[in-house]
Amino acid sequence: MHVNGMKIRRFESPRGAARALARHMVHAVADRPDLVLGLPTGRTPVLLYAELVRRYRAGEVDFSRVRTFNLDEFLGIAPSDPRSYRTFMARHLFDHVNLERRRIHFLDGTAADPDDECRRYERAIARAGGIDLMLLGLGANGHIGFNEPAASLVGATHPATLTAATRRANAALFGNDRRQVPARALSMGMATILRARRIVLLATGTSKARMVDRLVTGPITPLLPASFLQLHRCAEVWIDRAAAASLSGRAAP
């Protein structure tokens, strides 16, 4: 089903969505072995990464030429820090498949000059020829990457200030103490994300239902950064039954 230019795909369960997306990615890599992927962290993609690892172990996919760019990283947290998004990705995906280290790209939260680091990242994405398939999660407040709801959004990769809600949502990585979550991060910007050739936003669970409805059926507003996906030529929203529960209007089940 298409609503506001976005393709909506519904699945019975988070596992069903993860399986379908992994299958889709395996085919995409078979078609284009040097595919450029944009990757998210968070609880949502964990099942997807597990499914990709399973398929890799089954000999169904070769990641050796695939290139990856993660969306974001905490400012002040070193890549090797157990709380970094870089470590999260190693634990859930990178350490278990044959991605080559030099083809894995990450923002470095400890770079001496964060603005320079953001410019370096934009150049690296451009040099790779842009992102072919951008996978996104959805923040409970409607953020994508660390592009938080605000009066205005930033186009390029940039240092971002996190809202209290987002710091709370990320507390699990920091011993469940939201005060330990850095107040700032580096994130791909809205234009960086929207330049990807294809975008798939994955959202599961009841906690995302209201935001999913607003992003699909509501107005495009910086107060809900994910709503900008409506402007993309090739954006898809993959959801499970729980995340689809509040869909209204033309998108209603």
Q: Which residues in this chain contact ligand GLP in the complex, by CB under 6 A?
A: 40-44, 71-72, 137-139, 145-146, 166, 169-170
Q: Answer yes or no: are the C-beta atoms of 28 and 60 closer than 8 Å.
A: no
- Yes or no: say if 142 and 151 are a contact pair by the CB < 8 Å rule: no
3-state class (DSSP) for residue 142: coil
Residue from 4, 70, 72, 170 carrying the catalytic annotation: 72
- Say how far apart CA 43 and CA 253 lie, in whole Å: 25
Whole-number minimum distance, CB 185 to ligand GLP, in Å?
7
- Angle, alpha carbons 247-45-69 (nearest 5°): 115
CB of 190 to ligand GLP, least distance (A): 13
The active-site residue, picked from 148, 213, 236, 240, is: 148
- Which residue out of 143, 158, 213, 236 is catalytically annotated? 143
Compute the distance between CA of residue 162 and CA of residue 164 in angstroms, rounded to an integer: 7
- For residue 203, the minimal CB distance to ligand GLP (Å) is 8
Based on the residue annotation, tell me whether 147 is a catalytic residue of this protein. no
- Which whole-number Å values give the CA distances from 207 to 108, 138, 143, 210, 229, in the listed order? 30, 10, 14, 7, 20
Tell me whether residue 78 or residue 165 sits nearer to ligand GLP (CB atom).
165
* Cβ distance to ligand GLP smaller for residue 99 or 169: 169
Nearer to ligand GLP, 42 or 130 (CB): 42
Please enumerate, as own/partner, the contacts of 182-185 that have beta carbons within 8 Å and a separation of 24 or more: 182/74, 182/75, 182/76, 182/77, 182/109, 184/74, 184/75, 184/76, 184/159, 184/160, 185/72, 185/73, 185/74, 185/75, 185/109, 185/146, 185/159, 185/160
Report the residue number, 41 or 227, with the smaller CB distance to ligand GLP.
41
Please tell me which residue in 60, 62, 122, 141 is annotated as part of the active site. 141
72 is catalytic: yes
The question of whether 148 is a catalytic residue gets the answer: yes
Taking the complex as a whole, the smallest distance from the CB of residue 204 to ligand GLP amounts, in Å, to 8
* Smallest separation (angstroms) from ligand GLP to the CB of 169: 6
By beta-carbon proximity to ligand GLP, the closer residue of 31 and 177 is: 177
Distance CA 164, CA 183 (A): 8
Give catalytic status of residue 96 as yes or no. no
User: Which residues have a catalytic role annotated?
Assistant: 72, 141, 143, 148
